Amino acid sequence: MLSLILPVGLPAADDRKAGAGTMRVDVIIIGGGIAGASAAYFLSRHGSVALIEREEQAGYHSSGRSAAQFTVGITAPTMRRMAQASRAFLETPPAGFCTYPITTPRSCLTVAAVGQEDRLARLEERILSVGARAERLDGPSALALFPALRPEKIHAGVNEPDAMDIDVDVLLQGYLRGAKANGATVVLKAGVDVILRGAAGWTVAWPGGEVQAPLLVNAAGAWADEVAGMAGIAPLGIVPKRRTAFTFAHRPDVDARAWPHVSNVDYRWYVKPEPGCLMGSLADATPTAPGDAYADDLDVAQAIDNIEQDTSFRIGRPLSQWAGLRSFVADAEPVAGMRPQEPGFFWLVGQGGCGILTSPAVGEATAALLAGRDLPAAMTELGVTAGDLSPARNSLQGVG
């Protein structure tokens, strides 16, 4: 089954020596969020995999706290192309991957005031650039899609009719279940405290366990630079950013279930229908230290004020509120690859809030790169190259 490209001089898993109780695999993945889980799913087709996650459940931090919207209206061009390359998997997953659909239709509406038409035009260009559909709307047409908008504030809009909601749990559990079916080992509640590199490759240890492999995938999200430091690897310059969200009630006589996800074009707020309520956010990106993120009351209050300025909602006290971390590198593009001076250490980071919707393409790209294969056609046909994903690309040099 092994078809991964091992660093020069390292033996295959069956030939490596390890101490008693040490698990031996071809690839260790640190981080059980959506990036690590998707990598485990695709990599486990090519070799043996151990996925190590320190929390009690996979996807606890960022993946479980996302608005979970599929859109290609993304500013960063590689991220946008990876999203479009992921569409087919999300819409039609492989047989047996999941019992319930991953996606359900929900268009994405972006609205603008007078004088912001140029921003709408750029958004429309981004959506069209990857072959998706975009609809230009006047104010009344935008109001027809989302009746809570204040007509005096909304001059025009762009609607992405093929945007979708993503069921994060269905997607995440599909990856994990598929990885396990392929023989992968998933270890939870395993806070890594040792990462060493020796003659047999990488050794990763946590209280009560140890695993050894020639290839190490760093999918630790906000903690990725910390993991790199434990391994003696220079940081990449990961910047975790907090985003706060909340839910609120709406009028019981209004059925908002079919309303689109809506935001204003300068991204001061967004609102998304949820079962029995609405989700709102300031769409903030506040740099913060890695940790368990909590909602900021001032961010919630500012979001409520911004939403109420442009809509007829009178929100009052939120039903619930939370925050999650979104991790960025300097150019806001995804990273999947190795730096030349660090063979065997694979960075899988920088999903920048788009990790869920790009996870099929990013996971498949990870498997292709570690197997020494070309990127899949779904990516190359959109112009994505291995260099675009590489941690050694020019836009990231001098960042760490």
pLDDT in tens, 173-206: 999 999 999 999 999 999 999 999 998 899 999 9
Rounded Cα distance between 333 and 265, Å, is: 21
Q: What is the pTM of this model?
A: 0.92
**What pLDDT is stored for residue 232 in this prediction?**
96
Residue 129 sits at the vertex; the CA angle it makes with 128 and 132, to the nearest 5 degrees, is: 40
Q: Which CATH architecture has domain 23-63+168-236+331-396?
A: 3-Layer(bba) Sandwich (3.50)
Q: Quick one: 142 exposed, middle or buried, by C-beta within 10 A (0-12, 13-18, 19+)? A: buried
Distance CA 205, CA 222 (A): 20
Q: Are strands 27-30 and 135-138 parallel, antiparallel or unpaired?
A: unpaired
Q: Which of 126, 123, 334 is nearest to 221 (CA)?
A: 334
Under a CB-based contact definition with an 8 Å cutoff, are residues 251 and 84 in contact? no
What's the pLDDT at 1? 43
**Cβ contacts of 364 within 8 Å, gap of 6 or more:** 42, 89, 376
Per-residue model confidence (pLDDT) at position 264? 95
- Report domain extents, the chain: 23-63+168-236+331-396, 107-162+239-328
User: What's the confidence (pLDDT) of residue 64?
Assistant: 43
What's the CA gap between 395 and 270, in Å, rounded?
Answer: 30
CA atoms of 280 and 307, how far apart (whole Å): 8
CA 282 to chain centre: 19
The pLDDT of residue 63:
46
φ/ψ region of 353 (left if φ > 0, alpha if ψ in -120 to 50, else beta) reads left
Q: How far apart, in whole angstroms, are the C-alpha atoms of residue 42 and residue 4?
A: 12
Which residues of 174-269 form beta strands (DSSP E)? Answer: 185-187, 194-198, 201-206, 209-213, 215-218, 239-248, 261-264
> What residues in the chain have per-residue pLDDT under 70?
1-20, 59-67, 398-400
Write the CB contacts of 328 (distance below 8 Å, at least 6 apart in sequence): 238, 239, 241, 285, 350, 352
For 142-174, what is each residue's pLDDT tens digit? 999 999 999 999 999 999 999 999 999 999 999
DSSP H/E element including 279: strand 277-281
pLDDT confidence of residue 132: 98
Residue whose C-alpha is closest to residue 272's, from 142, 280, 264: 280
- What pLDDT sits at residue 304? 97
Task: Give 207: exposed, middle or buried? Use CB within 10 Å, 0-12, 13-18, 19+.
Answer: exposed
pLDDT on residue 183: 97
Sequence letter at residue 304: I
In CATH terms, the superfamily for domain 107-162+239-328 is: D-Amino Acid Oxidase, subunit A, domain 2 (3.30.9.10)
What does the pLDDT read at residue 4?
65
Give the separation between CA 39 and CA 44, rounded to whole angstroms.
Answer: 8
